[in-house]
Structure 1
Amino acid sequence: MVGKFVDQKAQERYFATYEAIRRKWPVPSEELDVETRFGSTRVRRSGTGSPIVLLPGAMGTSLSWYFYAAELAARHTVYAVDTIGEPGHSVQTRPLESTDDEADWLADVLAGLGHEKVHLVGISRGAYLALNLATRRPTGVAGVLAFEPGGFGIAFLRFVLWSIGELARWWLPAAILRRVSAGDPAVRHTMRPLVFRGLRYKIQMAPLHEFTDDELRSIDVPTYFVLGERSLLNARELASRVESLVPRVRTEIVPGATHALNLEELELTTAQILAFAGENHAGLPD
């Protein structure tokens, strides 16, 4: 099975919403369709400079990065990805059955972009995919910035319950949302129709893999973990674990932030991406 919409009407409604949000992208962009072993992957490119590849959280698509795109593209070539097997403009032709398949897919995407090395920045599942690539196919990876990554033992039921609570807030009026959640309500309200219409898509992805100690020890690129103090995991335990295992790692715990820290701390998220890419720019061609 490959990912697909439940019917034509669901697909049409989703892409009408996708197009409406796409028009909000704040800087000129080019849409690329990168061929991989698992189908065509849609990538949005903006800016010039050393390359950053942005991997969204589950169902976020490339458009979830539009809040950060202007500042990032002012200094870097930014590539925002529609994850294959999820709703978006990527077209899956072969199932992702394992973590190796996921690494092969992302390695194919990076090869298709034509850079020797790129910085990978991911949120939640996107961070998991970036770290997975760094453990299995690291050739094209200059560094990994992982916001609240998966792959570290989050209980499925706990994640589902958190997701339901978080998405319920997206329906609140802006005045109330400001009182119960950090961040700009416009962020959640803009993405809300796309995420909810994406629920009519049958997602196909490999089961989430939990990283072993040996896999983490094998990561040999600069790696930065950014965790919320109120993460679904014990942030301090995770930070301590990766600091003891990953050779070139830094960790940060954001006070008060949850698993949705990228929505709660827009300016901080942008600053962290720029700082990470800047610190590790040496030897990375534009």
Structure 2
Amino acid sequence: MRLFLWLTFSVLLFGCSSDYEKYKETPDYILNATGKNESYYKAYDETLKLWNVDFEELYIPTTNGIAHVIVSGPKNGESLILLHGMNASSTMWYPNIDALTKTHRVFAIDFILEPGKSYLYNDIENVENITAWYNEVLFVLKLDSYHIVGASRGGWLAVHLALKNPKKIKSLVLLSPAQTFTWIKPSTDLLKNIIALFSSKEKQIEQSLETLSSNPTKINDVYLRQYKIATEIDSINKFMASMQPFTTKELKSLQMPVLVLIGDDDMINEKRTVEIANTLPNGKGEVIQNAGHFLTIDQAESVNKKTLDFLKQNQ
């Protein structure tokens, strides 16, 4: 009887290790990849070695394709969804994952319309379909409630999801969210990036990194190689024009706790972003010093601490 009770308690506390077993098989599009795709997947796997935490990779079939999800952290931890920035893939969290998995069960999802290990085989027609795709993935993962951390474009998607699923999302952490609170205003850095479009691909990437990071030398060379290949094989998806700032009414309808962090040298955001964040019902905005748009890398330790403190307050 004691053994039965102990086993029951263990399942409830730690979950069943085979919950996602049927999603662990690596699909053919990765096993038999060629050319740039093969190089990209190899670079992706090399970056994953920077995580320094145990993880499992899931390949979840959905209506529109295969969703690649990296799962890590204690099975009894609160669920935390990570939505990466543009062309960054889930590996971008390498400076943050060790801290986040100390207390949370983390699910990092590769966006299906960009380079990563997710795979699109049925066209997604609009932003609403993107939301439906994420909801399909979360349903398969059996997540009834969760926190979301979204970076850049992932921050915009996080707000979009929160507006559609307000009861399921316990809190939002938005890290330099793109076009979420304000439009991207013209600047010298933006002009430099536009001019760089007429240069070589290598020059474009170099210029982009110089304007998005306050210290590009902090970006690990292994991840940088993956990022460069991603920019070579990516094409701008058709939903970029749909990324418009949310209305005041939409933002103020968010009742869950919201933390917004931006860098003091952020090309995508300005102080107005923080001011708006502080007007939300349960919102808080802060500026991270000595950080650009890539604040998860520029000031990883500070971002990790502020994120974890916020999550702890809103368990």
Measure how far apart 1:254 and its partner are: 1.5
Measure how far apart 1:109 and its partner are: 2.2
**Residues of 2 paired with 1:166 and 1:181: CA distance?**
17
1:210 is aligned to 2:238: no
Contact 1:122 1:146 in 2 (8 A): yes
**Residues of 2 paired with 1:241 and 1:225: CA distance?**
10
1:241 is aligned to 2:276: yes
**Residues of 2 paired with 1:204 and 1:234: CA distance?**
22
Measure how far apart 1:26 and its partner are: 0.7
Contact 1:47 1:73 in 2 (8 A): yes
Measure how far apart 1:156 and its partner are: 8.5
Question: Residues 186 and 258 (structure 1 numbering): CA distance in 2 closer, same or farther, change over 3 Å?
Answer: closer
Structure 2's unaligned 5+ residue stretches are 1-28, 197-202
Contact 2:95 2:297 in 1 (8 A): no
1:143 is aligned to 2:171: yes
**Residues of 1 paired with 2:255 and 2:170: CA distance?**
10
In structure 2, give the amino acid aligned to 1:154.
Answer: I
- SS of the aligned residue for 1:89 comes to coil
Match of 1:177 in 2: none
Question: Residues 171 and 56 (structure 1 numbering): CA distance in 2 closer, same or farther, change over 3 Å?
Answer: closer
Measure how far apart 1:130 and its partner are: 0.6
1:251 is aligned to 2:285: yes
Alpha-carbon deviations, 1:244-269, whole Å to 9, x = none?
3x211111111232212222101011
Q: Spell out the pairing of 1:93-104 with structure 2 (5 A cutoff).
A: 93-104=121-132
Match of 1:118 in 2: 146
**Residues of 2 paired with 1:191 and 1:88: CA distance?**
13
Question: Residues 155 and 39 (structure 1 numbering): CA distance in 2 closer, same or farther, change over 3 Å?
Answer: farther
Match of 1:268 in 2: 302
- SS of the aligned residue for 1:94 comes to coil
1:31 is aligned to 2:53: no
Structure 1's unaligned 5+ residue stretches are 173-179, 282-286
- SS of the aligned residue for 1:138 comes to coil
Scaled by the length of structure 2, the TM-score of the pair is 0.76
CA RMSD of the aligned region, Å? 2.9
Report the structure number with the largest CA radius of gyration.
2
Q: Spell out the pairing of 1:48-67 with structure 2 (5 A cutoff).
A: 48=74, 49-67=77-95
Pick 1 or 2: higher relative contact order, CA cutoff 8 A, min separation 6.
1
Contact 2:214 2:265 in 1 (8 A): no
Measure how far apart 1:169 and its partner are: 6.8
1:201 is aligned to 2:210: no
Scaled by the length of structure 1, the TM-score of the pair is 0.83
Match of 1:153 in 2: 183
**Residues of 1 paired with 2:209 and 2:277: CA distance?**
36
**Residues of 2 paired with 1:169 and 1:94: CA distance?**
34
**Residues of 1 paired with 2:61 and 2:306: CA distance?**
31
Contact 2:150 2:173 in 1 (8 A): yes
Match of 2:9 in 1: none
Alpha-carbon deviations, 1:169-193, whole Å to 9, x = none?
7999xxxxxxx9447x353422111
Contact 1:110 1:140 in 2 (8 A): no
**Residues of 2 paired with 1:234 and 1:64: CA distance?**
20
Identical-residue share of aligned pairs (%): 25
Match of 1:191 in 2: 223
Measure how far apart 1:90 and its partner are: 0.2
Match of 1:284 in 2: none
Q: Which of residues 95, 98, 101 is equivalent to 1:70? A: 98
Measure how far apart 1:23 and its partner are: 2.8
1:226 is aligned to 2:261: yes
**Residues of 1 paired with 2:238 and 2:134: CA distance?**
13
